[in-house]
Amino acid sequence: MDLIAEGIAGALRLLIAGDREVLRIALLTLRVSGTATIISAVIGVPLGTAISLWSFRGRRRLAGFVNTGMGLPPVVVGLWVSIFLWRTGPLGFLRLMYTPTAMVIAQTIIALPIVTGFTMAGVGQLDPGIRLQMLSLGASSWQLLSILIREAKLSVLAAIMAGFGRVVAEVGASMMVGGNLLGQTRVLTTATSMEVSKGNFGFAIALSIILVGITYIINVILTRVQQQ
């Protein structure tokens, strides 16, 4: 209990004092995970809607890949992204390894199946009569897609929250492709893991409390939008 109390007190001290390094780590965490979530939402929401609505060859197989990807281990994602971005890999010429961009790529791959899968399930529960009514009124494919996404907005926001929650708490892939470099690619999860390995449990608890606080605030905001 003393260790937990020390961690809570440490988190408050860091926040009140405005520790520059902690703020930099927290802002990078938001930037990387937020960017990955936005990209996965831009791609995953329309994709999940399309898979749920339209029949095409390979639809079931694609849905199976999406459902499998929802449980994809982050270390596997980190491994394959590392292979592609390594200096001798197919995309090594881009020199993205150990950069925030590499972390965004890895986290997007992790979040995309989650956002797509949740959207697919949410749109699939809509009344089929809505689609028929819109088509009878002459709605185009894009208009139909937009209307159905708005109708399933509760599920869509839940999908975005789930995707963000998954990547903001991710450690393995971020460590593998980012390297946990001070001032460059160190985020709250990798910093917490490093402090634990050093036996600095008080500071690790403080970082974890800040991480949970950020996640809570973001989800409260999204929940209010969802309820409105």
Q: Please write the tens of the pLDDT for every residue from 167-206.
A: 999 998 999 999 888 889 999 999 989 988 887 777 788 8
If you search the block for the tokens 């029949």, which residue do you land on? 55
Q: What is the pTM of this model?
A: 0.86
Alpha carbon distance 134, 221 (integer Å): 31
If you search the block for the tokens 């927290």, which residue do you land on? 26
Query: Domain locations in the chain?
Result: 2-227
> Over the stretch 111-160, which tens digit does the pLDDT of each residue have?
999 999 999 888 878 777 676 777 677 777 777 777 777 777 888 888 99
Nearest to 113 by CA among 166, 60, 56, 153: 166
Residue predicted with more confidence, 56 or 170: 170
Average pLDDT over the chain reads: 86
pLDDT at 18 > cutoff 70: no
Residue 52 vs residues 57, 100, 111, 173: alpha-carbon distances, Å: 13, 33, 18, 30
pLDDT at residue number 84: 95
Residue type at position 179: G
Angle 30-34-40 from CA coordinates, rounded to 5° = 160
Topology at the third CATH level for domain 2-227: MetI-like fold (1.10.3720)
Q: Is 55 helix (H, G, I), strand (E, B) or coil?
A: coil
Q: Provide the 8-state DSSP code for 86.
A: S
pLDDT at residue number 168: 92
> Over the stretch 26-46, which tens digit does the pLDDT of each residue have?
899 999 999 999 999 999 998
> Using alpha carbons only, how large is the chain's radius of gyration in Å?
20
In this structure, what are the phi and psi dihedrals at residue 186, rounded to the nearest 5 degrees?
A: -80, 120
pLDDT at residue number 56: 80
On the 0-12 / 13-18 / 19+ scale of CB atoms within 10 A, 139 is middle
